[in-house]
Amino acid sequence: MSVIDVSRHDPPIDFLLDAVRGEQDCFYCGEALTSPAIHWMGTGFNLIVHPGCCVELVIRLLRDVYQIENESRIKVTARTLPELRRRLMAEEAR
């Protein structure tokens, strides 16, 4: 995961800068990308979203996990919540 901010010129890959300069649309909302943006590399594609769209996407992904847990015997969040809490606290402490 990386944050693309054209004002800092940090990304080492030119296509990321080009993406937020109007050459690519947000994966979530379909609007033109702006800076800053969030980039995730997947297998065979790049997911780039506005920060607000990232929040909306994560909420919907977690809702899907919640639905799976309620409709099956698969319990994902019971295992991961303590680890997520630990990581969030560590990030806030930095």
Domain definitions of the chain by residue range: 2-50, 53-93
Residue 74 has pLDDT above 90, yes or no: no
What number is the average pLDDT over the span 64-89? 80
The predicted-structure confidence for 40-52, as pLDDT tens digits, reads as follows 888 888 889 999 9
**pTM to 2 decimals?**
0.67
Helices and strands in the chain, H and E counts? 3, 3
Residues 54, 34: contact at Cβ < 8 Å?
no
SS3 (DSSP) at 49: strand
| Residue 30 in tokens | 């379909």
What number is the average pLDDT over the span 25-46? 87
Q: What is the DSSP letter of 43?
A: S
Between 20 and 53, the more confident residue is 53
Rounded Cα distance between 71 and 3, Å, is 35
